[in-house]
Amino acid sequence: MKILVCISKVPDTTTKISFTDNNSKFNEDKVQFIINPYDEWYALVRALELKETLDGTVTVINVGKADNEQIIRKALALGADDAVRVDTDPADAFTVANEIAAYAKPENYDIILTGKETINYNSGVVAGMIAELLDLPYVSLASKLDVDGNNLKIEREIEGMKETLKVAMPCVIGAQKGMAEARIPNMRGILASKTKPVKIIAPITNEIHVQSVSFSLPPEKGAVKLFSPDNVKDLAEALHNEAKVF
Amino acid sequence: MVLVFAELGNGNLKKTSLEVAAYAAELAKNKNTECIAVAIGNANAGELEKLGNCGIKKVLHADDDKLNSVYSKAYSKIITEAAKNNNADTVVLSHNSTGKTIAPRIAIKMNAALLPGVSSLPDGNNFSKTVFSGKATAQLAAKTNTVVITLNPNSFKPHLTSDTASVEKINVSIDAKDFDYEITGTEKESEGMVPLPEAEIVVSGGRGLKGPENWAIVEDLAKVLNATTACSRPVADIGWRPHHEHVGQTGITIKPNLYIAIGISGAIQHLAGVNQSKCIVVINKDPEAPFFKAADYGIVGDAFDVVPKLTEAIKQIKSS
């Protein structure tokens, strides 16, 4: 089985967000970067589990410049066999999908896995675009994935509902919580990761569809209005008459 | 021309369908053009006509009982064909599980820019979208003439009129390979509750509740408010509550009118998923809990004492 896992680099979940260059760029100063949690905890770990039980290879792909090497090595330390980095700083989701699809096309992966969305752009559109560009089936928001012959048995968690479905390989899957448990790389994995191959390839296009023009932070909240535990009724009244939320 | 996808569930329009229809109609008005809707699968009598309430004049209906579940290939094919046949340069969907699944395909088919999860009508050419899991907002501009927009649930309130829409059946050419998977089962998770991303009121519990056996106070409060229940990540991770209730940066991001957090300290990852709520109420016995800084209203006190009193007080207001 040949699996491709697409990973993205995002700021650590505890990062305080700020912007530079007249609010047009994310301020990377002192920011710790990690693999997008959905890509790592669920997509990559599940791919590694499948490889361990069914044999096969797991390749990770990332679209980004040389400083993304750190997160690629982490993926290799967790157990991926090799990695590909498309050497460009992607401006939008379309660029990422286009580059990954172009690389994956002649490689004939059985499964292309990625997280349901990144925690910086929260769009969740790259996997669907890759599926369309490669004319493959696409299952989003998968919370469980098992191999059954040439098919995958998948559980999806969608608005208030759990859906089970069967999809034939090759296919593209977007992973969310439930699919696997996060792992920590061990010493052997970390040592092995240093010599695993990372192929660097040139981008195929610089076409972009969406430009991020500017960013802003949410307005500061006013001070909280506190009520005493002895006057809970007043809180109910405030929610009803002042905030008018019920 | 603006084309909007009005999703059906069990033959009825989803709540998000009214939101996107009203949004698309307003967008079309601002661009001095028309807006039509497309619906897929069986519809209950009179249901599609209701899209007129949101400003839609005409609904194209691909009425096929094989299409009562969402198939990403078939749905995106039908919507793209409808857009092409009607010279639509803008396609609008909800940023719900269906929209997230089919919008990327439609955007690629139409060679259109995809503006995912926008939260308001554009300001000039710029659409706003929350990024960094709710910690910031981005202004996005399309670099193409055609665009596909997905609208965040609970972002746009439809102003309903009594107008009705006309419905026109359309033929679709769907074959076996357009069904990219086989749906083998569905199971409702939160019986009788509005799904979290669409909920207007959410009552959420954290570790401060000390154990899963104590959730009745959360559920009672939710019941009186007709709210959906949620939880913090640690609570889902230790198995007190199901994963699908986890709101926060790595769970579900929500945008309700009212969010009540009980026994949740307010870690930055949790706040990221809920800070777009219009009104936040925090009940926590620790006055130093960071959540109070993000709250509109709060009570420093014991949840087991405060929450039942709040439920009772709300019940009284509602019945008066």
**Does pLDDT of B7 surpass 80?**
yes
The pLDDT assigned to A17 comes to 93
Q: Locate CATH 3.40.50.1220 in chain B.
A: 196-319
> Closest Cα partner for A59 from A22, A5, A132, A107?
A5
| Contact at CB, A235 and B310, closer than 8 angstroms | yes
**Inter-chain residue contact B114 with A209, CB threshold 8 Å:** yes
pLDDT exceeds cutoff 80 at B192: no
Residue B251 pLDDT more than 90?
no
Which residue of chain A comes nearest to B110, CA vs CA?
Answer: A132
User: Residue A222 pLDDT > 90, yes or no?
Assistant: no
d(CA B174, CA B67): 10
What are the C-alpha distances in Å from B64 to residues B69, B106, B142?
A: 11, 20, 34
Q: What pLDDT, in 10s, does the model give residues B275-308?
A: 999 999 999 999 999 999 999 999 999 999 999 9
The yes-or-no verdict on residue B167 having pLDDT over 80 is yes
The CATH 3.40.50.620 domain(s) of chain B lie at 2-178
What is the ipTM, given to two decimal places?
0.95
Q: A 86-115 residues with CB below 8 A of B? A: 93-94, 97
3-state secondary structure chain A: CEEEEECCEEECCCCCCCEECCCCEECCCCCCEEECHHHHHHHHHHHHHHHHHHCCEEEEEEECCHHHHHHHHHHHHHCCCEEEEECCCCCCHHHHHHHHHHHHHHHCCCEEEEECCCCCCCCCCHHHHHHHHCCCCEEEEEEEEEEECCEEEEEEEECCEEEEEEEECCEEEEECCCCCCCCCCCHHHHHHHCCCCEEEECCCCCCCCEEEEEEECCCCCCCCEEECHHHHHHHHHHHHHHCCCC
Question: What pLDDT score does B168 carry?
Answer: 98
Alpha-helix residue ranges (DSSP H) falling in A92-215: 93-104, 126-133, 187-193
Contact B139 A215 (CB under 8 A): yes
**Which residues from chain B sit within 8 angstroms of residue A159, using beta carbons?**
96-97, 195-198
A195 has pLDDT over 90: yes
> Which pLDDT does position A165 carry in this prediction?
97
CATH topology (fold) of B196-319: Rossmann fold (3.40.50)
| B225/A246 touch (CB, cutoff 8 Å), yes or no | yes
CATH architecture for the domain at B2-178: 3-Layer(aba) Sandwich (3.40)
For B76-132, write each residue's pLDDT tens digit. Answer: 999 999 999 999 999 999 999 999 999 999 999 999 999 999 999 999 999 999 999
DSSP for residue B3: E
Domains and CATH numbers, chain A: 2-213 (3.40.50.620)
